[in-house]
A and B are shown apart, each in its own frame.
Chain A
Amino acid sequence: MLEYDVVVIGGGPAGMAAAIAAYDSGAKTLILERDVRLGGILNQCIHQGFGLHYFKEEMTGPEYADRFRKEVEKRGIDVMLEAMALSIGEDRTVTALSPEHGLVKAKAGAIVLAMGCRERTAGAIALPGMRPAGIYTAGMAQKLCNIDGYLVGKEVVILGSGDIGLIMARRMTTEGAKVKLVLELMPYSSGLKRNIVQCLDDYGIPIKYSHTITRIVGNPRIEGLYYAPVGADRKPILEKEQYVSCDALLLSVGLIPENDLINGSGVEMSPVTNGAAVDENRMTSLEGVFSCGNVLHVHDLVDNVSEEAGIAGSAAARYAKGELKCGECVNVTAKDGVRYALPQRVNRGEGKVRLFFRVDNVYKGARLVVESGEKTLVGRKFQVLAPGEMGSVDIEKSDICGDIVVRLEK
């Protein structure tokens, strides 16, 4: 039985940042990473645009990951690679499987969940028609392209406008493929505005909002697909069905926090984020178990992941040492155009808390209001708020005088 103050499950950007913060707070720390190297999904994100906020410089995904990997190495933090966490026992014992060490049991003073997210699949959206070869999640096509060196097709359609899909539209284009069309079910993109501009507009790739696929054609390989505009109920209007030929379809239709490890374990989950409900320390309803990064809620920017993981990591270290003070909590709820706010609970006390939020539609000139009890803590007008861009506001704990509500005034 191994014993650590903090066991971090996942060695991607969240896990590394959490482990570094935990170590720097004096905790004996272990990272369990299921892949052969640290870095997680950043390793296949070879495009620019990482680190602008966190490091104030622009770098690629692997470069961003490397910064953190070097910090992990410099500190001599224990890392177990190819180690897949299988379960968390009641006494916070993590069981993992590894080819090198067999079944590993690590007893932890605190656990940080940092398993990231997975992509929603063709099956999850019940994509109609045939189920041939040539349909890939954008991330799988990205791995094949950037890690393995293979291109999945030459005539490409992309369903969904998540950031990975947009990035892959550009990547496939620069590799010589023709990206014929991007289809988005919603009337707006779920990706960052900058990616719409830099990955589609700059390359003249058309995007059709409020459109979806009605039928996949081809066997054993995709030959094309039918698509149609959708009505207000998001159901396709079949009379307006059109056909486009393609030899590959990429899906960028959403990311789902990968919480298999705690789903069904009684940890309170948010039905909106599909991650755990946490307090400002990112502690879940299970004492001593923290969550951060995309396993908590899906982020747009890795910079925010690093920041959040730092909070979780240092809090986990303090918890393991018995130094984390948890006072009386107030609940944080979202309404009136705000889809969710995180953390979902805040402990009363002293200090600043940054509330992250995501809206449910595109709003121009709306005012974001944060209220606590009878008091208005924040009232800030935003030029544009979009579902694809997470927002944040800071509040002072000392101002809290009751449950917190985050809402929009349109």
Chain B
Amino acid sequence: MEKFDVTVIGGGIVGTAVLDRLSRYQLKALLLEKCDDVASFTTRANSGIVHAGYDCEPGTLKAKYNVLGNPLIWKEAEELDVPHLKCGSIVVVGEDGLDGLKELERKAKANGVEVQILDREETLKLEPNVADRIAYSLYAPTAGIVSPYQMAIGYADRAVSNGAKIVLEAPVTEIRSKGGEYILSTPKGEFSTRLVINCAGAHGADINDLAGAEHFETTYRRGDYFVLDSTERKNVNTVIFPLPTAAGKGILVAPTADGNVIYGPTAIDTNDSEDVASSLDSLDVLRASVPLTYKRPAFNKCIRVYSGLRTLIGHDFVIGKSKLRENFIMAIGICSPGLTSAPAIADEVLSMAQETLHAEKKAEYVTVMPRHKRIKELSEEEIEKLIAEDSRYGRIVCRCEKVTEGEIVDAIHSPLPATTVDAVKRRCRAGMGRCQGGFCGTRVMQILSRELNIPLSEVKKGLGANIARYRVKEVE
């Protein structure tokens, strides 16, 4: 049984950020993830917004980590070469909404966040396509967008580059204590560890129960989204919110860091931790709500719908050391603004872990990751040079997003390798465009098959499901 100093359970944005911090110390650090890639559940399906932090209730952990996390995520997105844009956000209201904005302004002041109330004319300068009824907005210049899954993948890649270990398809099924250490059972074997950090997202409370730590009641809130064709990107400059309600920040219209536009999310309470099925009525709610803030809705330019789950434990994040189990740290119940808060939560968790670990920093570690080669972003001279070195960067596989074979091979051989079609998609966008892999899907499968040396029928879409199932003439 392999022994580790510290084990993070869960490879979402929080778990990967925590592992990234730990990997800079002289520690044997492990991350166990139940899916076949990191960022496979909550982190892959959220709004990708870097929140400014004006709407969190002052004094909460959400307010604290959002405000601390905002500058960190901008810095680290740069270090990790993850697509991001500090485009600002606006909360837009009609004539009757000024009081609501003033309340947000008050919270912003308490949280130390820079905001500004704008009239219609000033709002239009920022965002010409707000709905005609919009009279005022609250502008937060430090807000913006980032690719949430690429952020987690970036942390994972950097952690692995710095010597941490990630084991995928390793859901923790049992946690027991033995001689002052925890033994974690998974289908990939048992792992021994001095310290456990629970970052298990939707299953955070389950992991607590397995360990005999504090018991929490969890509820979930599903949100459906539309993803629009990149041709819509030119119509949206900032993140456009309605006034927040008890159910959340409301249905937003926002650009994505990868150049699309999203409309969403809805807020549907559920008790099912796996319920990410979009529903007709929920999609109809989006169709009815988007025009209230945005005057150019283009549902006919939809290229994808998706759903994500917010995991709620009470009204705030749960971050801290267990009082029931020694050497057990929790960072769970991380709903919005979890993505923005993740780097600050990770810093906090690191200092809690250090109270047990007392590890020394490594003499050398990577902070700035090598730049991804993206044909779409290079100059003609750079493209020529790259293709001269490796012709695979001249072979476009994904036509819609202009992703080359070279970029796909890079994704497959990244520090945390992409081993599925979905994992390739999250890393380099092959299959994420308007044809949704209709053309390139089989070509990506062939490249995976070749690079991983597995038959085509073994290539998975993700989560263990293969795509080319049977050989022809093989059916009985």
Query: Which A residues contact B (CB, under 8 angstroms)?
Result: 34, 82, 84, 86, 97-103, 118-119, 121-124, 126-134, 137, 139-140, 143-145, 147-154, 175-177, 214-217, 219-221, 236, 238, 247-248, 258, 260, 263-264
A103 and B471 within 8 A (CB) = no
Q: Give A34 to B399 CA distance when docked, in angstroms.
A: 9
B438:A128 contact, CB within 8 angstroms: no
Interface-facing stretch out of B85-93, B212-220, B410-418, B455-463:
B455-463
**Beta-carbon contact of A220 and B462 below 8 Å:** yes
Q: Are B475 and A151 in contact (CB under 8 A)?
A: yes
B396/A84 in contact, CB under 8 A: yes
Indicate which residue in B396, B465, B470 contacts A134 across the interface (CB closer than 8 Å): B465
Q: A99-B395, A140-B438, A140-B442 are in contact. Are A221 and B465 (CB under 8 A)?
A: yes
The residue on A at minimum CB distance from B464 is A220
CA gap between A159 and B380 in the complex, in Å: 43
Closest 3 CB pairs of A and B: A176-B475, A123-B304, A133-B465
Measuring CB to CB, which residues of chain B are less than 8 angstroms from any residue of chain A?
Answer: 226-227, 231, 274, 276-280, 283, 299, 302-306, 375, 380, 383-384, 387-388, 391-396, 399-400, 402, 404-405, 434-439, 441-442, 446, 456-457, 460-476
**Inside 8 A of B391's CB, which chain A residues have their CB?**
99-100
The number of inter-chain residue pairs (CB within 8 angstroms) is 157
CB-defined contacts of A86 to chain B, threshold 8 Å? 402
Partner of A150, one of B303, B461, B469: B469
Residues on the A chain within 8 Å of B304, using CB = 121, 123
Of B280, B394, B468, B470, the contact of A100 (CB 8 Å cutoff):
B394
The reply to whether B472 and A153 form a contact with Cβ atoms under 8 Å apart is: no
Q: Is the CB of B395 within 8 A of A124?
A: no
Q: Are B394 and A98 in contact (CB under 8 A)?
A: yes
User: Could you say which residues of chain A place their CB within 8 Å of the CB of B226?
Assistant: 126
B472→A118 contact, CB < 8 A: no
Cα–Cα, bound, A260→B380 (Å): 20
**Closest CB in chain B relative to A352 CB, distance in Å:** 37
Q: How far is the CB of A254 from chain B (nearest CB, A)?
A: 12
Q: How far is the CB of B375 from chain A (nearest CB, A)?
A: 7
A39 smallest CB distance to B (angstroms)? 15
Which of A152, A216, A236 has the most chain B CB atoms closer than 10 A to its own CB?
Answer: A152
A99 vs B393: C-alpha distance when bound (angstroms):
7
Minimal beta-carbon separation of B424 from chain A (angstroms): 14
* Bound Cα distance from A238 to B302, whole angstroms: 23
Q: Are A150 and B394 in contact (CB under 8 A)?
A: no
- In the bound complex, CA of A140 to CA of B388 (Å): 32
Question: Which among B402, B466, B473 is the interface contact of A133 at CB below 8 angstroms?
Answer: B466
CA distance A103 to B375 in the complex (A): 11
Contact B302 A130 (CB under 8 A): no
Query: Does the CB pair B463–A220 fall under 8 Å?
Result: yes
Bound Cα distance from A102 to B460, whole angstroms? 32
- The answer to whether B472 and A128 touch across the interface, beta carbons within 8 angstroms, is no
Q: A148-B468, A177-B475 are in contact. Are A99 and B387 (CB under 8 A)?
A: yes
Residues of chain A within 8 A of B435, CB atoms compared: 118-119, 121
What are 23 A-B interface contacts by the 8 Å CB criterion?
Answer: A86-B402, A97-B387, A98-B394, A103-B387, A121-B304, A123-B305, A126-B283, A127-B305, A128-B279, A128-B305, A129-B278, A130-B277, A131-B306, A132-B465, A133-B465, A148-B442, A148-B468, A151-B470, A152-B468, A175-B472, A238-B280, A258-B399, A263-B231
A98 to B383, CA, bound (A): 11
Among residues of A, the one whose C-beta sits closest to the C-beta of B468 is A150
Assess whether B396 is in contact with A97, with CB atoms less than 8 Å apart: yes
Verify A216–B473 contact, CB threshold 8 A: no
Nearest CB of chain A from residue B377's CB, rounded to whole Å: 13
B380 touches A103 (CB 8 A): yes
Of B274, B405, B442, the residue contacting A143 (CB under 8 A) is B442
* Minimum distance in angstroms from A344 CB to a CB of chain B: 21
- Whether B438 lies near A137 (C-beta < 8 A) is yes
- Cα distance A377–B470 when bound, in Å? 56
Q: Given A133-B462, A150-B456: A124 and B303 within 8 A (CB)?
A: yes
A103-B384, A123-B436 as given contacts; A215 in contact with B277, CB under 8 Å:
yes
In the complex, what distance in Å separates the CA atom of A102 from the CA atom of B385?
9
- CB-CB under 8 A from A154, the residues of chain B are 470, 475
Q: How far is the CB of A384 from chain B (nearest CB, A)?
A: 30
In the complex, A153 Cα to B475 Cα: how many Å?
Answer: 10
Question: Which residues in A have their C-beta under 8 angstroms from that of B476?
Answer: 176
Q: Are B468 and A144 in contact (CB under 8 A)?
A: yes
